[in-house]
Chains A and B, each alone.
Chain A
Amino acid sequence: MAAPSVFLLMVSGQIESAEFPEFDDIYCKYCFSYGLDWAITSGLDESITQITKKSRDQYQRFVWNFPIDATFKSTSPSGWPQLVVYAYGLDAFGTDVVRGYGVCHIPITPGRHRLRIPMFVPESSSLLQKLTAWFLGRRPEYVNPRVVAQGEGREVTRVRTQGFLSVSFNVIMKDMKKLGYDILPSDVQNPTIPAGVAGTEKPAQAS
């Protein structure tokens, strides 16, 4: 049987809830950002949630409960997919303004993971700009939201963290071990010693 050349990563999860203490009426968009070795084989690359108001109790939570389902294939873990979430809300004049960008890597170990990611917005450079932005409803935002998934060019941006988003992921992988990748620590009590390592005999040839 030919050795596999790609491995698969399947993510199913949800954008659960968020906390934005000062705002109301928020919806989210999400998209995946991944490297050149990766391709999405099934599921949506981007989507939009519903608009929700915060709860009228002391927790003041926004709940979307929005499903995320995607399967990726790749030849190499470089460029591991990241989930980029951007939250929009309505301001006092009824226009859509951005309330936060958040990014996190899809977890690299299989299983269930729950993450709380900070949501930040770019800040205006001066007080005058802040005032005109508030009046006109045109707050600073990123032209391409995927820029928050990259490390380059961030050193000149000033941002303000405004809230947190809770996301949960269930991760399954296929064929990572067959390609030689280890994502869990080795078990020293029951070691798996591959063929050809010095000191072990060759395994019987498959017929």
Chain B
Amino acid sequence: MKQCFNLISQLVKMAEVHVIGQIVGASGFPDHSLFCKWGIHSGGGWKILSGLREGQTQVDNPQSQDAAYFAHPIDIHFATKGIQGWPRMHFQVWHQDAFGRNELYGYGFVHLPTSPGQHEIDCPTWRPTGTFMESVSQFFLGGGPHLKNPDLIYSGADRYKLQTIAMGKIHLRIGIILRNFDKFGIEC
């Protein structure tokens, strides 16, 4: 089935993108028992041939380090007819405490690199803030505002209505392999 599709895409000369890497970890957050939900959003012309489009990492509670490490592997194969809608990877970092309760720590997104090779990427994250009374209750009880529509993590529409505060960073090590882009005259 894969061989068949490879043959067809060679004949039709669709451009292909391989994303091979890991979500290494996260640092700079107030506490370190973290996990990360991730997903990839791409434009209409992109198709995923193999690999998972979204997932959730393990929960890491490091012994003595100052960052949480997920080591979550990513291996996705895209085929595309155009360069519009280059895929974006979005993240939600959550904190899990000793009682198993989850609290949102941050949202972030990053475009997948457009040039082939190995890339080390840091994705900054932010968290929505509420009113002063809401942040006081958040300090004592946890919880806090979440986005109603998670599309806002990677889109710019209607962002001006949000008030947010900065949180830590997510570290990625992503390798990109491109195929047939030069045959379309794309320089990347």
A contact set with B: CB distance below 8 Å: 21-22, 35-37, 75-80, 82, 102-105, 107-109, 113, 117-118, 120, 123, 148-152, 154-155, 157-162, 179-186, 188, 191-194, 196-198
Contact = CB atoms under 8 A, between A and B. Distances in A.
B145 interface: no
B70 to A, nearest CB: 8
Closest 8 CB pairs of A and B: A118-B69, A155-B56, A108-B175, A161-B62, A185-B115, A77-B18, A157-B58, A158-B59
Interface of B: 2-3, 6, 10, 18, 20-22, 24-25, 35, 49-52, 55-65, 68-69, 71-75, 77, 96, 115-118, 173, 175-185, 187-188
A78 B50 contact: yes
Contact of A159 (B21, B22, B60, B179): B60
B86 to A, nearest CB: 15
Given A186-B187, A191-B187, 11 more contacts: A78-B51, A104-B22, A108-B117, A118-B65, A151-B52, A155-B58, A157-B58, A158-B58, A179-B179, A180-B180, A181-B178
A184 B117 contact: yes
Given A161-B69, A196-B183, A154 B188 contact: no
Contact of A118 (B3, B49, B71): B71
A118 B25 CA distance: 9
